[in-house]
Structures are given as structure tokens and as C-alpha cells.
Structure 1
Amino acid sequence: MKFAITASTAVSGRFMYVWDRSTWQYHVVQGDRDSPNGTAQLPPGDYVAVARYGYFRQRNYLLVRTFTVTSAAVSVTFAESGARETAFATDDATAVRATSAYWLELGGGDKVGFTSGGPAKTYVTPFAVAGVTLRLHELLTKAGSSAAVPSPYRYDLQRSWSTVPASPIAKVTTAQLAKTVTTLRAQGVTTNAALGSSLKDRWSGSYLESPVRLPGTVTEYVTPGPTVHRKLTLGAGDSSVVLPDRALPAGESPGTTVGAGPFLPRAAGSSVRDGDELRMSEPAAYADADGNAGSDARASVTAKLTTEGDVHHYDQTFTRRVAWSQLSTRIRSEWDFRAPDQGPLPLIDLGVGVTGLDARNRAGAAAVGITASASARGGGTAEVGKVEYSTDDGAEWTELDGDTLTVPATAAFVSLRVTATDDRDGRLRRTVIRAFAGPATAPDETSGATRISNVVVNGGADLTFGVSGSRVFTATFTASDPAGIAGGDAYLYHGAYATPDGVILATGPADCEKTSNTAAVCTARFAMDVKVDAARNALAGAWTVAAWSHAADGTSFADRHAAGAFSMKRVSKLTVDASPEPVTKGKTITVTGTLTRAGWESWTYQGYGSRTVTLQYSKKGTTAWKTVKSVKTDSAGKLKTTVKASADGSFRWTYAGDAASTATTGPTDYVDVR
């Protein structure tokens, strides 16, 4: 059997699949993935074949053919021209596709499809094949939104066709959908995140994600009925908070809040006694105040189990310091318990809630409410004996009098320590360092002798962007400590540290290369797309580097909120025209031009007004350029001046640049003087 794709351009990354329609047995198609051709060995029967390929961020294809094999080979052609666009169309004219997943489900349980590259269009062959269903899952957001300017709403839409029509456009109106508002809290400082979802019963192989800002709110319009998995992806994708599965009815539903502090383990563990062994399994991952489970791939866990007589002591510490979170940096749980002869261990679990915090989980001038509850595993009873707080990261503790606390105006963070006991002589003391933030802005911090210096972004050069494109660059810094350096991290922000209007997170923790026993050079890597990460003109100008490093002794660290600075600039351009050409010596030459710079909201170059630009002249036969005069652009960026013709030569405009725009020198225009 021979298979071929007829496409408008070269095919790459293609997959071909063949199934027997009566048994759903899969048959392998041989061939290079960058070739439109393939071959397969097939016995007689009725078949369905699928070709899948795409052009990244442009268009994707799912082409379907049915055919029958009798006693002779058959050639099957997939015609790209026969495919039709499939998509969702809403009555909201501002909504556009953010990303999507399209796949085919077959009678044998196989799935074939993909997640498209962002807003790329998808085309499918119209078909009616028994046992084959086309499924669509698509996110729509406001046109022009990005990580820098998150969409205020999010359409999460699903549809399926068992018979794909000639025009497979799924039309929906906002009134037909479920509507709810999701509130997203931040862990101390503003940062970027992604809100993702996937079908629970029709798993497509991936979460579809759209950018969100923490803190913030997003109005969600959802296809009523289907249950979806949801999660909030944080940092460089190595941390997340899992939201409850959701199935909404049509109409408005109550909103939900995700990320309310304090963050601490809330799920009961599964520690057991098995013969002579104690098998400790306690979830160290944090969860928010509503029990939404979180994970942090950069966190570390240490634990120690000791026994004195028939009393066991289990001491576990969960440590996490990441760029996007100031809170719950260390969570320590200390259990005392007596083990049964066999089975689950009778440990205590705790819940802690704090009311009166703002969207960044910060306390203000008003008192906050603090509640704690305890439960005992295995049917016992437990109660909270004492709640303590600290405003100096646990150096000193004060017992809470009542269930409210007015946080001192000078406190940047509040730590909590809760002690509970049960009716079986069990005990749990849980300490959460920086359970929530206080009214004061956190200063730079140093513990021990750790130091950060020599911060350099992009090799010391400005980051410059036109109206499109991406850039991969680094931020490097030197970290030192007498004990040596264990690791580091960095991120970039625009504006105030606690409330930035632009944030760029590294793609992962910094790589710290040892240069001596006490020092290392740490390199954080960044990938930035101007249309996603800098989609506002106001983000041009000065940016700040926040850097963090910790020592090999496990206790010393440096956290510098303004460790370095760099500039991110909009690209400027100049044009020139000198006339007349040729010109008589002594006559007047009129030199015009236009100064433009990249618009990070319109994605076009725009006239740059009220800027002083220099006109330069170079006489024929020389390489030197001499300044003729300075001219200010008009409101549209236009330039115009006159000079006397003296000799053959060239004219050009040059602009020195400014804090938010690059310097630029335009092309030259030669004038023949006679």
C-alpha cells in the first residue's frame, strides 16, 4: 500500500495511521516523518487512514480517508485541499483562539490528534466513519492579551462530531454557556502563571493553558456538563496547584478562590506499621487554605524518625524558596505517637486558616482572624492546645491571645506554630515560617555570610525588541560564602518589587558553576517572546534583577530584590530622502525622513514625535560623517530641513536613543551636486 499527502508546501513532522474498521487493529505505516509519502503491508479488508501534521503556529491538519483492500494494492492520497477549518465561533467579537486540542477517537480506544501551536488554525477532512469521532477542546481569550496583559476572560469550550460536516464550525453563544469567576491569589508578590484544563472523561493528552496574572481574577465561560481537570501552573512550569475537578451547569455559578494562604500540608498521610517496620509516608507538598494541593519541584524534604521507649518521634521539614513565592518557605512537622501492633499510625492532622488577608496574602492595618483545627486518624479525638506567632522568622514566639491578631506595621511576614494533642498521648507541633505576609515590604535579606555581586543581563547589552520575535538570554551573578555555594535563582521585573507590572521568570533554577571553594558563577536562563512577555509599551525602560543564592551549609543565604538592573528597549528606525537629485551647487537641498519605533501594543512601527535627531553629511571620497544640524520630529515622527548644496555626498539621520528606545542610524541618500 502507498500513501501520499498533497500539500501546499513541504510537509514536516507528519504521522500516518491505519486501522481495520471491523477489528480496529492498528497497522504501522512506514516512512520518513518529513516526507509526504508512506507505505504499509495490509491484508484484504476495510480501513480508515489518518494523516496528521502541522505548520507551527500557522495551521494543522487531520486528514481522513477510508478505503478497501481486495486482492490488489491501493494507492491512498490525502488531499490537504479537501480539509475544512474546524473551530469555535462565539458571539463575543473580541474573543480569539488562544490554544486548542483536536483529536479523533476510534472504536478500538485509540486516539490521534494534537495540541495546536497557540492560535494556529486546524483543518479536518469532513467524514462519516462509524466508530470515529472528532473532538474539539479550545480556549479563547481576548484579542491582544498575553502574559504581560492577561485576558480578563477565558472561554473553555468542548464539542464532538461523530459525523464531521462540510463546515465543522461549532457556534456557541455566551448565553448558552456556564459562567463563573475564578479568583487567583499570589504568594506575596505579583507573578505570572498559567491556568490549564483538560477533559476528565475524554483525555486528550495535554492541558490547555492560558496565561493569568497572580493576583487577579478571570471570568470563565465554560461548556456546560463535561467534567474537567484543572490546575494552575507556576514558576517555570515546575510547580502547580491542582484545582478541584469541575462540571458546571448552564448559567452563572458561584466563583472560587485559589491560592489563599497559609500554605501547608492538609492531606492525611498513609504512614503505617508493617511488622517491625514503621513506614512513614506524609505528604510534604503544601496546599492552600481551601485544600487545593500544590507541588514544588524545587523544594527539598528532610525527615528523621527516632524512638524512645514506646514513643516515636517523626520530624519532617519541607523547604521551598522560589522566585514567585515569598510564603511558606519552611514547614516543619514534629509528631510524637505510639504505634499500634499493625496498621495505620495514629497521627494528628492540622488545618489552619487566616481571614482578612488581601490578594497577595498580606495582612493590613486591620486585625486578621486565625483559626486552627486538629483531627486524629483512626477514630481518636484531637484538639489544638496552643497557637503561636512570630514576626522574625521564628527567632521569638508569642502565644496568640484569642483568635485575632493585629500584625505590627513593621512586620514583613508572620510565622505560625500550632501545637495539638490527642487522646492517645499523641502530639503534633507544626511550624510554618512566613505563613502570610505583613504590612511592611520585605527588605533584602542575608543570613550568614552569603553574598551576591556582579549581576549581568544579556552580556551587559540592552534587550531590544521590534514588533515580533523571541530572544534567549541569560542573567549571571557571582555568589560567595565561606561554606561554598549550593545553588541560586533569579528573575526579572518591571516596576515595584511587590507589585510589578511585568515579570519574566527563568526557565529553571540557575546553574551555579564553582569557581573556588567559596564562590560560584550562577547563570539563569530566560526565553522571551515580545508578543507574550512585553505586550505593553509601558514595559520599555528600566528593569530590575532579583537574585537569590544559598550556601552549602544549608542555613546561609542572600535574597536581593534589586541585585542588578538592565534596560529593555523598543527598536527605533529612521528613513531619509534628500532632493532634488541632481542639484546645482549652491542651491537648496531638502532632507526629510521619519523616526519610528516599535509599538508593543499595535505590533507596528509608529511615528516617534518630539525627539531630537541629528542630520549628518559625508563628502564623496571620505568615510567621515559630520554633523550638519539637529532637528526635532513632529508629532508623527516626521523630519524636514534644508541645506545648501556644496559637493557630492551622502546624507543620513541618526538618533541617540533614550531610556526606552534604541539608538539608530538610518540609511544614506547620495546627492550628485553639479
Structure 2
Amino acid sequence: MVRILRTAAAAMVVALGLALAPPAASAAATYQVKFAITASTAVSGKFMYVWDRSTWKYHVVQGDGDSPNGTAQLAPGDYVAVARYGYFRQRNYLLVRTFTVTDAALSVTFAESAAKETAFVTDDATAVRSTAAYWLELGSGEKVGFTGGGPARTYVSPFAVPGVALRLHELQTKAGSSAAVPSPYRYDLQRSWPAVAGAAIAKVTTAQLAKTVTTLRAQGVTTNAALGSALKDRWSGSYLESPVRLPSTVTEYVTPGLTLHRKLTLGAGDSSVVLPDRALPAGSSAGTTIGAGPLLPRAPGSSVRDGDELRMHEPAAYADAAGNSGSDARAAVTGKLTAEGGLHHYDQTITRRVAWSQLSTRIRSEWDFRAPDQGPLPLIDLGVDVTGLDARNRAAAAVQITASASTRGGGTAAVDKVEYSTNDGAEWTELDGASLTVPATAAFVSLRVTVTGDQDGRLRRTVIRAFAGPATPPDETAGSTKITSVAVNGGADLAFGVSGARAFTATFTAADPSGIADGDAYLYHGGYSAPDGVVLASGPADCAKISNTSSVCTARFVMDVRVDAARNALAGAWTVAAWARAADGLGFADRHAAGAFSVKRGTKLIVNAYPEPVKKGKTITVTGTLTRAGWETWTYQGYGARTATLQYIKRGTTAWKAVKTVKADAKGQLKTTVKASADGSFRWTYAGDAASTATTGASDYIDVK
């Protein structure tokens, strides 16, 4: 996956081919230049660019993106032109031409046939391209013709233009891996060419690369995520991402000596953890852990006094135990500032309920402080570390809890007490020492830490569900909120062959006497806390009011069988988890198994009846083959030991009749005999099963003499 960042505005104007402002009017004569791509088929996603090679001034190319043609009005001079287009998930092209405008119009042709492949080749025979980005880089630093994405092969036409270089950033993962079957390793490869004479193929060996192991922890529940990187020194405005599963470990092989921006993205891009920039030397380096709990604000905010104003800025960001800062666009933040007797009190609450996290659902920070005459406010900051948690930040038994505090702008602060709760803060117990033996009945452990500092400073921070306990979380209810009428895909099964994606919805009715504020849903296969398949919605559910007390909530999904269900074991029953929050903020319902639906492997049947023609009363042999989609080989394979029904329809009639049932052999082969009676057709049908679709094959006509 290639994820475009909105923050890299200057880079992305070029990268996305947006129309830049045309140059200022000039009295100099201009001439029309016609551009054309000679391609093997209709181009897709075409952009054309032109730069003056002496000034690197950009010139607009006019033309429809679906057309292989374009035009530009250019003054005399030397130019470089670039055409970028592709064929989805198959081939991408970056074509380069230089030309000179003298005193007349001219035509410039980009020949697809002249392009040569550009790629990385490693000595790991199991590694294949997961995704890539490639672009031309001008001497001015501008990025030209950025393209890539997915496993598509990339082709660049040879060029040698002073001030222009080709850059390639490529990720390779294990062949056959996907979000459902994540790769155990990741090659993160970078290379540049100042000129391209032929095929730009970079051959690297594993021994030449940097190697490290990255451990990814989950926030209580197994989920999908994406690990992304971008080259810092040649910032292109994009992250290349490969799917990962939380929790897991990933062995990373990286081009040494290059500094990378990195991040971990969860959900539909709603949540992310920004990782430290990293440059690794060749050879093995120590591994790192991402996502160790508890997750809570760790970096100081920037609250200040400016004259008579107190400007409170305490971001709703959270960080893991290593200080990797995270954010969640689904989080809601409330804050209230009060003052009494020269002492200020700021009360902030961060709440979130998302499919990819069961932890840190509510974080409340209560600060007392005396504001200075000017400058940063002397708020207290807190760090809490818990050792003894597993890969899902779950405590199996005893854990060690340590807390530390500091005051902004100097001064001292000390931890007064640490309290814990196993019922989401309904009851608190002060921790005696650092060790806590978590009860076997606890699904979650919440923490409350009180800190005091000099100059009347104080902080009490409460983290609801700071880490998980040994018990499986139960459904949750508060007040009178209810969830009913759950349906996925309108109640129909989701059926997939060996490729393809489906867009569909999950709907449910939520009700509460006060009405419904919001809700959400996600889909999983297997156990609730440790599913082996997960499909997350593309955003929060839309809850449409149907009465004063009820709403119908709709969550939207896209499921790609090669990404989300790349294992045969993922066929069959899936579960819907859904939750809804009441309008009064008091009622809540979270049903871990609110509904069910089926994801099925497609089946096919073929038939052959012979001899043809046949005399009446003679024997007809009818054969067939039952096959089923294989989600690991991406082919249809014989589906054995299943019973199919042979049907017959007499010529001139409209009703098919069952003749007999036949059990397929181990290879899915069917065979039986019948007596010829009249002209008609035969076909096989299969009724389907819990993991496979029903199917009816085509018919074969028999002429009876």
C-alpha cells in the first residue's frame, strides 16, 4: 500500500499531477507542442509534466487524463517531459523525453515499448514485491511522476538528463502473504539512479542489508495494521506500507545508512503510532517493541500563559511504554478550566471506543497548578510502566507497576499513591509496593495515580483499562441501551471465487429511551479477543434516527478475498461485534457476538453426457466435476466426497427433474448412467454447505433417436 500524506503539500502538487499555476504572461513567442503516448492499450491515470531544463520552471500540459495525448504552449528552449500512467496492479510506466523548441510547433512521442523494467532483486527466493513507489527527482528537489502501489511491475524509459535522477522505494514480503496471512519478514529497499541506460535492476543480498526484529504488541485484541516507511532525506510525501498483524514479530531487512520516517497505522487510517526516525548500519541491530502498554499521554503538552490568557493545549495523543506517540481520530476530548484562590484546576477526559483497541478507553487527567506571570504552565507529567504483560498487553498473573513524575519548567514532583481497579473504576484499591497479582476473574485492570509537586502542583490521572487481565471480556451494558436486528450484506452470504473484492454493509438497530448518539461494528472470524480474521469498517457507523428512541446504524466494509481471507480456514461462519452509545451519555451496549454471517468459497460444476446422438433405451453416461475456490493457491480445485444431484429436462418442457444423487470421488469427479428416453438436457447441481456456495452447472443436450 502507498499512503499519501496531506502534510507534504509542496511535494504532492507534483506527485498527484495537480494543475500548477501557469507561468506569468510573457511577450516571448510560444509554440504548440503535442504529446502522445504509443501504448499497448488504453492508458489509465495518465499525467504529463514538462520542465524547462535551464530554469526547472514547470509548464502545464493540457489534456484529458483518459487520453494518451496532451498539449503545451512553450517558448523556445530545452525541455524534459515526463508521462506517467499505469494498468492497475499489472504495470506502471514512467516515460521520459527531452526535446528542444526552436521556432515552430512540434510533436513529442512517448514510446511505451522503449521502457525497461526497474525493480529490486534479492537473494531470497520467497520474497516478492508488496508495493513500490518510484519517481524522478529534479535538481530543485521536486518529485516528478510519482507512481507505484501494489505488486505491479514498473517500467522506465532510458534517459540521461543532468539534474534528473530516478528513485525507487520498494517493499518485499513473503509470496502469498496478505492481511490475513501477514509476512514474517519485510524488505525495505531504496536505490537511486542518476541516469537510466537500460533496465534499472538493483541486485542486493540479504547479507548486504541491515537486519532487525520489530515486535508489535496489540491493544488487547488481535487486529490488522500496516507498517509504513518513507525516506527522510528524499521526502516524497508518501509512506509505503505492508500489512502486519497485531500482535506479531517482523524481521526487517533495510537498505543500510538511510534515515527513514516510520509509523504504524491502525483501522482505516484513523489511528497511528509515529515511530522514531531510524537509520541502521549493515548487519544485525537490536530489536525494538512497539505498542507496549499502558497507553497514556507521556509527552508534555504546550499549555502556556499569554498575558491574561491561559491557553490549554494538552493533545489527546497517547504513547506506549517506549514513548512512541500515538493518536486516534475517533477519540473525543473534553476539558474544563476553573480557578479558585489563585489555584487553577484543569480537568481533561479522553474517551475512545474502537475495534482495534480494548485498552485506554478513558483517560482522565486532573491538574492543579499556579500559573506563572508568563510562559509555560508548570503542569505535572506522568509515566507509568508495567512489566509482565504479554503480546496483547494482558497480565496472566503478577505484574510490576512503576510510576514516575516530572514538572514542566523545573520543580519537583513525587508519586503519592497508585491505585488499581478490576471493575472499570467502580472500586479502587491502593497498591502496596510495585507488585500486583491480577485476579483470574479480571478482564481489565484500570490505574489511578496521584502525584504532588512543589508550588501546590498536583496531578491525578485515571486510565480505564490500562491493560488487560486473564479473563475474556464479557458483553457490556449500561442503562437501557439495546442492539437488535443485526444484518450483514442484507442477510445474504458473501461468496468469493479466487479473486475480487466486495463492498457491503452491516446494519443494526440501536435503541435507548434517550435516543442513540453513535455506534459502530466490525467483523471477525474465530475467538473475540484472538480472531484469526478481521475486517474493519472504512469509518464509524452512520446512525440514522428512525424514532425518538431508535436509530439504524450502518457500517461500511470492503472485503478483498486475496487480502482479508487468504486462507481456506477463513471460510464459514463470521461474527459481528457491535456497540452503541446512548444520547444521554449514560447508556451503552457492546455485544461481542451481536450477529453472524457466512463467507463462502465459490464452487463450480461441469457436465458431459455421451454418446451423442443415442438410441432410445440405450445407456447414457453422465460425468462431471465439482470444484471449489482455493484461497491459498488461487485456483479451483476438485471438491471430493460431496453429493451432487443429476437433473434432466425434457425438450419442450420447462421443469428440471432430479434423476439421482451421486457422490463425487476424492478429486471431485462425478459419474453415473441413465437410460435414454427422449431429447433433453442434463446438468449437475450442488446444494452447498457451511463454507461453500451452492451451484448449478451448465447443461449438456442429448439427441435421442
CA distance in 1, matches of 2:426, 2:341: 31
- Asked whether the 8 Å contact 1:261–1:353 carries over to 2, the reply is yes
1:267 is matched with 299
Counterpart of 2:256, as a letter, is P
User: 1:405 deviation in Å?
Assistant: 0.3
My pick for the range that moved more, 324-333 or 5-14, is 5-14
Where does residue 155 of structure 2 map in the other structure? 123
Cα distance in 2, alignment partners of residues 272 and 205 from structure 1 = 32
Q: Which residue matches 1:379?
A: 410
* Structure 2 contact 84–147 (Cα < 8 Å) conserved: no
Aligned equivalents of 1:452, 1:30: Cα separation in 2: 54
Q: Which residue of 1 aligns with 2:270?
A: 238
Partner SS, residue 175 of structure 1: helix
Equivalent position to 2:451, from 381, 395, 420 = 420
- 2:47–2:145: 8 Å Cα contact kept in structure 1? no
One-letter code of the match for 1:194? A
Aligned residue runs from structure 1 range 302-321, under 5 A: 302-321=334-353
Tell me, in whole angstroms, the C-alpha distance in 1 between the residues paired with 2:249 and 2:119: 26
**Which residue of 1 is the match for residue 643 of structure 2?**
612
How many angstroms does 1:555 deviate by?
Answer: 2.7
Aligned to 1:290: 322
1:489 paired residue among 507, 510, 520: 520
Q: Find the partner of 2:481 among 439, 443, 450.
A: 450
Using the TM superposition, give the Cα deviation of residue 54 of structure 1 relative to its aligned residue in structure 2, in angstroms.
Answer: 1.4
- In 2, distance between residues paired with 1:125 and 1:269? 50
**Letter of the 1:534 counterpart:** A
Aligned to 1:144: 176
* Amino acid in the other structure paired with 1:107: G
Partner secondary structure for residue 395 of structure 2: coil
Residues 12-21 or 420-429, more deviating: 12-21
- Aligned structure 1 segments of 4 or more residues deviating by more than 3 angstroms: none
The answer to whether 1:184 aligns with 2:216 is yes
| Contact 1:417–1:430 (CA under 8 A) maintained in structure 2 | yes
Tell me the residue number matched to 1:570: 601
How big is the shift at 1:114?
2.4
After superposition, where does 1:57-136 map in structure 2 within 5 Å?
57-136=89-168
Scaled by the length of structure 1, what TM-score is found? 0.99
Task: Quote the offset at 1:70 in angstroms.
Answer: 2.2
Please state whether the residue corresponding to 1:14 is helix, strand or coil.
Answer: strand
Cα offsets for 1:436-494 (capped at 9, x unmatched): 00000000000111110000000010000001111000000000011110111100000
Q: Residue in 2 aligned with 1:630?
A: 661
CA positional deviation for 1:559 = 0.5
- Provide Cα deviations, 1:62-100, integer angstroms capped at 9, x if missing partner: 111112222233321111111101010111111111111
Secondary structure, aligned partner of 2:626: strand
Q: Is structure 2 residue 466 aligned with structure 1 residue 438?
A: no
Does the 8 Å CA contact 1:99/1:115 hold for their aligned counterparts? Answer: no
Partner in structure 2 of residue 163 of structure 1 = 195
TM-aligned CA deviation for residue 23 of structure 1? 1.3
Equivalent residue letter for 2:693: T
Cα separation, 2, equivalents of 1:15 and 1:479: 47
Question: Counterpart of 1:508?
Answer: 539
Q: Deviations over 1:160-190 (max 9, x none)?
A: 0101131210111111000011111111110
State how far apart, in whole Å, the 1-side matches of 2:253 and 2:339 are.
Answer: 55
Matching residue's letter, 1:28:
V
Give the superposition deviation at 1:661.
Answer: 0.4
> Identity rate of aligned residues, in percent?
84
Offset at 1:262?
0.4
Amino acid at match of 2:555: A
Amino acid at match of 2:273: V
Query: Which of 283, 303, 322 matches 1:251?
Result: 283
Q: Which amino acid aligns with 2:566?
A: A
Secondary structure class of the residue paired with 1:126: coil
Given residue 101 of structure 1, which amino acid in structure 2 is its aligned partner? A
Compute the displacement of 1:223 (Å). 0.2
Amino acid at match of 1:94: T
Aligned residues: 673
Match of 1:29 among 61, 85, 95: 61
Structure 2 distance, partners of 1:542, 1:343, is 59
Find out whether 1:335 has 2:367 as its counterpart.
Answer: yes
- Give the AA of the match of 1:294: G
Cα distance in 2 for residues equivalent to 1:200 and 1:453: 49
Answer yes or no: is the 8 Å Cα contact 2:481–2:589 preserved in 1: yes
Equivalence for 1:410: 441
Contact 2:92 2:147 in 1 (8 A): no
Deviation at 1:108, TM superposition (A): 2.4
Task: Tell me how large the CA RMSD over aligned residues is.
Answer: 0.9
Q: Which residue of 2 aligns with 1:551?
A: 582
Deviation at 1:580, TM superposition (A): 0.7
Deviation at 1:431, TM superposition (A): 0.1
- Structure 2 counterpart of 1:3: 35
The counterpart of 1:526, out of the listed 537, 551, 557, is 557
Q: Post-superposition shift, 1:557? A: 0.9
- Name 2:85's counterpart in structure 1: 53
* Equivalent of residue 400 in structure 1, options 415, 431, 446: 431
Letter in 2 for 1:445: E
SS at 1:531 equivalent: helix
Question: What are the superposed Cα offsets for residues 646-671 of structure 1, whole Å, 9 maximum, x if unpaired?
Answer: 22221111111100001111111121
Contact 1:57 1:116 in 2 (8 A): no
Is the 2:641–2:663 Cα contact (8 Å) retained in structure 1? yes
Which of 40, 65, 74 is the matching residue for 1:42?
A: 74
How many Å separate the matches in 2 of 1:10 and 1:579?
A: 45
Equivalent residues of 2:83, 2:145 under 8 A apart: no
TM-fit CA distance, 1:319: 0.3
Aligned equivalents of 1:593 and 1:53: distance in 2? 45
In the alignment, the residues of structure 1 paired with residue 230 and residue 543 of structure 2 have an alpha-carbon distance, to the nearest angstrom, of 37
Would you say the 8 A contact 1:201–1:227 is kept in 2? yes
Quick one: distance in 1 between partners of 2:316 and 2:655? 68
SS of the residue corresponding to residue 44 of structure 2 reads: coil
Say if 2:621 and 2:673, in contact at 8 Å, map to a contact too.
yes
Amino acid at match of 1:321: R
Instruction: Report the equivalent of 1:214.
Output: 246
Alpha-carbon distance in structure 2 between the residues aligned to 1:101 and 1:314: 46
- Contact conserved, 1:147 with 1:213, CA < 8 A, in 2? yes
| 1-structure distance, mates of 2:192, 2:312 | 46
Q: Secondary structure at the match of 2:563?
A: helix
Shift of residue 205, structure 1, vs aligned partner: 1.8
Aligned to 2:610: 579
In structure 2, runs of 5+ residues without a counterpart are 1-32
- C-alpha displacement of 1:341: 1.1
What is the TM-score normalised by the length of structure 2?
A: 0.94
Of 534-543 and 620-629, more deviation after overlay is shown by: 620-629
Task: Give the equivalent residue in structure 2 for 1:462.
Answer: 493
- Structure 2 partner of 1:203: 235
Conserved in 1, the CA contact under 8 Å of 2:316 and 2:331?
no
Cα distance in structure 1, aligned partners of 2:281 and 2:248: 24
Q: CA deviation at 1:552?
A: 1.0
Name the counterpart of 1:652: 683
Residue 225 in 1 paired to residue 257 in 2?
yes
Seen in structure 2, the aligned counterparts of structure 1 residues 649 and 74 have a Cα distance that, compared at 3 Å, is: closer
Partner residue of 2:510?
479
CA contact (8 A) 1:353 1:370 kept: yes
**Secondary structure of 1:41 counterpart:** strand
Match of residue 672, structure 2, among 618, 634, 641: 641
Measured in 2, the distance between the counterparts of 1:605 and 1:630 equals 23
Within the candidate set 145, 166, 175, 2:207 is matched to: 175
- How many angstroms apart in 1 are the aligned matches of 2:65 and 2:615? 65
1:356 aligns with 2:388: yes
